[in-house]
Structure 1
Amino acid sequence: MRLGLSMGHWGRDGGTEPLRLALEAERLGYDVVWASEAYGSDAVTVLSWLAGRTTRIGLGSAVMQIPARTPAMTGMTAATLDTLSEGRFHLGLGVSGPQVSAGWHGVEFGRPLARTREYIDVVRAVVRRERVRHEGEHYPLPLPGPDGSPGKPLQLIIHPVRAEIPVYLAAVGPRNIRLAGETADGWLALFHAPSHADDNLAQLREGRGERGLDGFDVVASLPVSVGDDLDACADRVRDYAALYVGGMGSREKNFYNTQASSMGYEKEARTVQDLYLSGDPKGAAAEVPFGFIDETSLLGPVDRIADRLAAFAASGVTTLSVIPYGDTHEAKAAALANVAEALNRATIQGS
C-alpha cells in the first residue's frame, strides 16, 4: 500500500504551507500529492507550482471538476502537466455536485454518469493524439461549422511524454463506483470504511469485468490525527466531517449524508445536516458520532494507526492518502512521518 498526501484546497492554510507539506511528503517517500478545487483555488495552477518545486513525487488532481472544462481542454491540460512534470501527473476527475455545477459553472447536473463516460472517452482520445471524433449526446465533436458544414476534427499539437495518463474518478454510490471501475484506472474515495468496503469493491469488480482489480488503484483519503487521547484526536476532525455530512450539497441531494446513513448513522446524519443547514456548524460538528469519525480516519498513537492501516489494506485500499491534522506545520509534518512509521510497523498481507 502506497502513501499519498491530500492537500485539499490551496488557501485553506495559506501561503507556502501546501508546498512545504508536499516537499516533506516527497522526502518521506510518499508516492503522490493530490490537490483539489471547489470554488476557490483551482487544482491546475497549484499542481503546476508543485511540479516546478518537486522532483519525484506524483502529482494528482482530486479532483478537476468536469463541469468546469470541456473534455478537450482537460485533455490539453493533462498532457501539458504530464509533460512539464516528466510523466508524474494523475488525472482525477469528478462531476462535483448540483449546486457547484449549476450555481458556479452554469452547467446542468443531469445525467452525470453518461456525461462522465463521454468525457473520459474524449480526454483519452486527446492524450493519445487521435483526431477527435465523438458521436455523443453530451460532447459531440466536431460540431457543424458556422455555415452548417461539418467542423474539422483536430489533433493535439504537442507530443505528451505518455500516451496514456492514469485517470481517476471520484465516486460515491453504487452506480458511480461501478462507472469508476468501468472507465478509470483508479477510484478516489472519501469516508472509506473497511467495515463497509465489500459492497464498494463488488461494484468496482462489476465495472472492471474480466480485467479484475489487478493494477486498479483504490485511493482512500483519510484524516490523520495523532495522539493518545482518541476523543481529542476525533475532535480535530469533527468540523471536516460535519462539512461533508451536513453541508455538502442540498438537503435533498448530499452524497456524503447518504453515505453516512448507509453505514448505520442515519439518525445522526440527519441531525448533523439539520444543524448545519440551520446555520449551526459547530453544533453539527458536536453531533458527528465518534464511531463514524473513527471508521473513516486514522486516530490515536502510531501502533493503533498501524493496525488501522492493515485493515484499510485488507479492505482493498492500494493508496492511502493522508489529510494531516495539527495546529502547526510541524504538527502536520509529524503526522505525515507518523503514518510512514506506522506503515513500516503494519502487518499487511503480501508486504
Structure 2
Amino acid sequence: MTQRSIGIAGSTSAETVRRIAPLVEAAGYRTLWVNDTPGGDALAALAVAAEVTSTLRLGAGVIPLDRQSGAEIADRVHDLPTERVHVGVGSGQAKRGLALLERGVAELREGCDAPVFIGALGPRARALAARIADGILFNWLTPATAADAMARLREDAGERRAEGVLYARSIASPEARPALAAEAARYASFPQYAANFDRLGIDPMDTTIDLTVPGSVEAFGVVDELVLRVVTATGAEDELVRLLHAGAPTRS
C-alpha cells in the first residue's frame, strides 16, 4: 500500500513549520519532507518540526552533497530525533556526481543511523541508489514512468529492501493551476530536468496531481510513498496551513 506524505519548501518560515507539522501528524500522513535549497535549510526546518511532533517521520530531500558533505550532514542529524529522520541527498551540480554520492552515503552511514535516500533522475544514479541507499527519491514522473522506475528499482536492488518515494506537485483548487503550470515550466527550463523529460518522453504537467479529480492520487499508487507537494494559487504560506486545517490535501 502506498503511504502518503506532505512536502514543503525549505524556505518555509519556522513559524509556519510549527503550524504545519502538527497538522500533518494529526492527519495521519507518514512523513513531512522538506526540500533543501540555497534559500532554505531542510535540517533546520526539521528541527523545528521535531519540537512540535512525536511520531511523524521527518525527511530532508534532497541535500546537495556539493554544498554539505555527508559527514557534515551526519553531525547535524545528531541534533534531531534520529529514529524519525530520513536523509535524502543528491549530487547537486558536481561533475563527478556518482562518486560524490557514493562517498557521501558512506560518510552518512559512518556518522549516523538515519536511513539514507538518494535523489536520482538518471538510470546510473538510480542503479547506484538501489545498491547503496535505503531508497530513491523520484521527482516529476507520470504514473506509467513511476511504475517503470519502481520495477527497475526492484530489479537493481535484488534482495535488498529499497523504497521508492515519489515527490509530486499537486493542487487542491482550480485557481492554483496557473501556479502549477509555472512551476512545471520552471523545472523544464533546467537542463538536467529538460533532458530527463525528453528521455522519458513526458510533459511535466502530466506528472502532477489535481486533488479535486477522483482517482488522481490513486493513479500514483505504484510507489511505496507519495509525497504531495501542494502548490497554492498565490504561494502564501497561510494557504497551505488553511488547506491542512480543512483536511485537504486528502488522504482518501
User: TM-score, normalised to structure 2's length?
Assistant: 0.87
| Structure 2 SS opposite 1:339 | coil
**SS of residue in 2 equivalent to 1:238:** helix
Q: 1:263 aligns with which of 200, 204, 209?
A: 200
Task: Encode CA deviations 1:145-178: one digit per residue, 9 max, x unaligned.
Answer: xxxxxxxxxxxxxxxxxxx321111010111111
Q: Percent of counterpart pairs with the same letter?
A: 24
1:220 and 2:220 aligned? no
- Any stretches of 5+ residues in structure 1 without a counterpart? 99-108, 128-163, 249-253, 266-290, 345-351
Contact between 1:224 and 1:323, CA under 8 Å: does it hold in 2? yes
What residue number does 1:116 align with? 101
Checking the alignment, whether the CA contact within 8 Å between 1:178 and 1:206 is kept in structure 2 is: no
User: Which ranges of 4 or more aligned residues in structure 1 deviate by more than 6 Å?
Assistant: none
Deviation at 1:335, TM superposition (A): 4.5
TM-score by length of 1: 0.64
Counterpart of 2:186?
243
> How many equivalent pairs are there?
247
Counterparts of 1:181-192 in structure 2, within 5 Å, are 181-192=130-141
Q: Give the secondary-structure state (helix, strand or coil) at the position aligned to 1:61.
A: strand
Q: 1:18 offset after TM fit, Å?
A: 3.1
- The residue type equivalent to 1:78 in the other structure is V
CA distance in 2, matches of 1:123, 1:300: 36
Larger radius of gyration: 1
- Aligned match of 1:339 in 242, 249, 252? 249
8 A contact 1:225–1:236 mirrored in 2 = no
Which residue number corresponds to residue 296 of structure 1?
Answer: 207
2:95 is the counterpart of 1:95:
no
Provide the aligned C-alpha RMSD in A: 2.3
| Distance apart, 1:90 and its partner CA | 0.7
How far the C-alpha of 1:191 sits from its partner, in A, is 0.4
CA contact 1:181–1:203 (8 Å) conserved in 2: no
Contact 1:233 1:300 (8 Å CA) reproduced: no
CA, structure 1 residues 110+262, in 2 after alignment: closer, same or farther (shift >3 Å)?
Answer: closer
Q: Please give the secondary structure, in 1, of the residue aligned with 2:103.
A: helix
Contact 1:222/1:320 (8 A) holds in 2: yes
| Shift in alpha-carbon separation, 1:29–1:238, aligned structure 2, 3 A | same
Q: Choose which of 145, 149, 164 in structure 2 pairs with 1:200.
A: 149
Deviates more, 1:66-75 or 1:323-332: 323-332
Pairwise mapping of residues 2-41 of structure 1 onto structure 2 (< 5 A)?
2-11=3-12, 14=13, 16-41=15-40
SS in 1 for 2:181: helix
Q: By how many angstroms is 1:334 displaced?
A: 5.7
Q: Deviations over 1:43-72 (max 9, x none)?
A: 221111221122221111112221222322
CA distance in 1: counterparts of 2:85 and 2:211, whole angstroms: 32
| Counterpart check, 1:311 vs 2:219 | yes
User: How far apart, in 2, do the equivalents of 1:20 and 1:74 lie?
Assistant: 25
Write the deviation string for residues 243-263 of structure 1: whole angstroms up to 9, x where unpaired: 2111x3xxxxx2211122123
